[in-house]
Structure 1
Amino acid sequence: MALTEKEIFRYKHPIAVPGMGIDMQEALKAARILIVGAGGLGSPILQYLSGAGVGVLGIADYGVILEEDLHRMPLYQMQDVRKHKAKMASSRLWALNPYAKHYPFLIQIKPGNVAQVIEGFDLIVDCSQHVPTHLVINDACVLQDKPFVIAEVHNWMAWFGGFNMPVLNNERSASYRCNTHVIDEYRNFDAGSLGPTHGATALQLATEIMKYIAGVPALAGKLYTCNFLHHQYGTVDLVPNVEIITEVKTVGILTAEIYGMEIVPDVED
């Protein structure tokens, strides 16, 4: 997707980075990415992907902005409290980069709508930090053969991984379901949350997403872990499980009850 003269001027510094150039910037403009969850993790990812020039960003979040969460959501301001995150994110991001398109979806991602919502996107980034939502997105992406990313931050601990992504021989990397036993080891559900750990994770993930769009295979089939307290970082290879993937393709989307998902009422805007 060709850049306009104004866009070339706007992105002249990223274009000048070795390995980037006009072609890479045009690939970013052509990208269509859905971010699920526009809170402490999703909102800074949205800021940097929008600023980088990603052409279309979907924002799926039915929740509202709370004052006690502003410490980890610098995209929003005090006057945004009690307003819907997806709508305010779209507004703030337009002010950041009017050359990108930002589409708010004031919905809960759930079995009844997930297939329709993800259909128009090239990459799904799940920042919901909610296991039932992870599973719903996993199954829908496997069925539609779409790559997706899942990330979580719990106080000092964080992880993110690239799932169902193209690898060698036209195959796909592991699904989330294939590695839940591995991922669970990196969860830390102690109380509390820190703004910088969310921001630091979001910056790493935004960088990896840009590399993925550029064709760098660093995200596919990898789980990146961060222990910010002890400054420890790790990489785990994710292993596909053919039986699990085949079962998802055979059974399809399950019910909310099976996923353990509580369905919330639709937002009345």
Structure 2
Amino acid sequence: MALNEKELLRYKHSIAVPGLGLSMQEKIKNTRILVIGCGGLGATVLQYLSAAGVGVIGIADYGVLNEEDLSRTPLFQIQDIRKHKAKMASSRMWAFNPFTKHYPFLIQVKPENVQQVIREFDLVIDCSQNEPTHLVVNDGCILGGKPFVMAEVHNWTAWWAGFNIPQANGDFSASYRCVRKEVDEYRNFDAGALPFTHGAAATHIVNSVMRYLLEVPGLANLHSFDFLHQQYKTTETRADAGVVAETKERGLLTADEYGMTIEPDVED
């Protein structure tokens, strides 16, 4: 789908960037991305995906906004408290960029629905920062042949990585299950959450995703940033063929096997 006249005006500065141009901006428009989780990390990822002109953005989050969420989710306002985050995010971003379609899914991504939810998207970005959800998304994307990105932020430290990314030799990059030990060193679930590290990490993630869409290699690695000491690190990841084969053979597990707590369906 080509850009219309108003989109050409809106994205003219991006189109002018060397190596981007009209064809790449049109490719971005024709991309469909699902973001899982609309908290401090996901909300900012959504904003910059929309700003970049991604044509279709899915927003999967079953939760409502709490007052303690506001410090790290500047997408929302105080009158949004106790409203569904996915629904309010969709509304805010439509007002910001009506040329992008924003679809809220007021659901918990779980074994029973993950394959259906991801089916129509080209890329999945898991910002849930929840280990059982990571595993469900990993298994669903491996079974569905979808590339996906996962990310977390813990106080001053962020990590993100692309998984199941097609490679030039016909293989695929590592799955999340292949690198769980590597990402553990960046985690501290009890260390609180800083608003600005979430926002800064989100821009890094969107930059990595945009580079991937522009066919620049590098997403299929483990990236980390220590914002306190301004230290960036990239670690090459390798697919474990045995782990991937086992995932495909076993298929999706039950919620209990993932250690996932199933939340009640929300009312719209």
TM-score interval (norm. to shorter):
over 0.9
Structure 1 unaligned residues grouped into runs of 5+: none
Q: Matched residues in 2 for 1:82 and 1:217: separation?
A: 41
SS at match of 1:198: helix
Unaligned runs of 5+ in 2: none
Whether the aligned pair in 2 keeps the contact of 1:15 and 1:25 (CA below 8 Å) is yes
Pairwise CA RMSD of aligned residues? Answer: 0.7
The DSSP-based 3-state class of the residue aligned with 1:169 is coil
Aligned to 2:209: 209
Name the counterpart of 1:247. 246
The alignment of Structure 1 onto Structure 2 pairs a total of residues equal to: 268
Check if 1:130 corresponds to 2:98. no
Residue matched to 2:5: 5
CA distances 1:183-229 after superposition (whole Å, capped 9, x unpaired):
11111223321111000000011111111111111102x01111111
Pairing 1:106-145 to 2, within 5 Å after superposition: 106-145=106-145
Give 1:54's aligned amino acid. V
Give the equivalent residue in structure 1 for 2:91: 91
Distance in 2 (alpha carbons) for counterparts of 1:47 and 1:175: 26
Query: Helix, strand or coil: the match of 2:222?
Result: strand
- Structure 1 CA distance for aligned equivalents of residues 243 and 109 of structure 2: 22
Residue 156 (str. 1) matches residue 149 (str. 2): no
TM-score after normalising by structure 2: 0.99
Distance of 2:187 and 2:238 partners within structure 1: 19
Q: Give the corresponding residue for 2:15.
A: 15
Give the residue type in structure 1 aligned to 2:228.
Answer: L
- 1:102 aligned counterpart, secondary structure: strand
- 1:159, 1:107 → 2: CA distance? 25
Deviation at 1:268, TM superposition (A): 1.4
For residues 24-68 of structure 1, give each alpha carbon's deviation from its aligned partner in whole angstroms, at most 9, with x where no partner exists: 100110000000001100000100110110000000000111111
Corresponding residue number in structure 1 for 2:237: 238
Cα deviation per residue 1:114-143 (whole Å; 9 max; x = unaligned)? Answer: 000000000000000000000000001001
SS in 2 for 1:41: helix
Which residue type is aligned with residue 241 of structure 2? V
SS in structure 2 at match of 1:189: coil
For residues 73-94 of structure 1, give each alpha carbon's deviation from its aligned partner in whole angstroms, at most 9, with x where no partner exists.
0100011111000000000000
Per the alignment, in what secondary structure is the counterpart of residue 169 of structure 2? helix
Structure 2 letter corresponding to 1:232:
Q
The alignment status of 1:259 with 2:251, answered yes or no, reads no
Q: Which residue of 1 aligns with 2:75?
A: 75
Q: CA deviation at 1:20?
A: 0.8
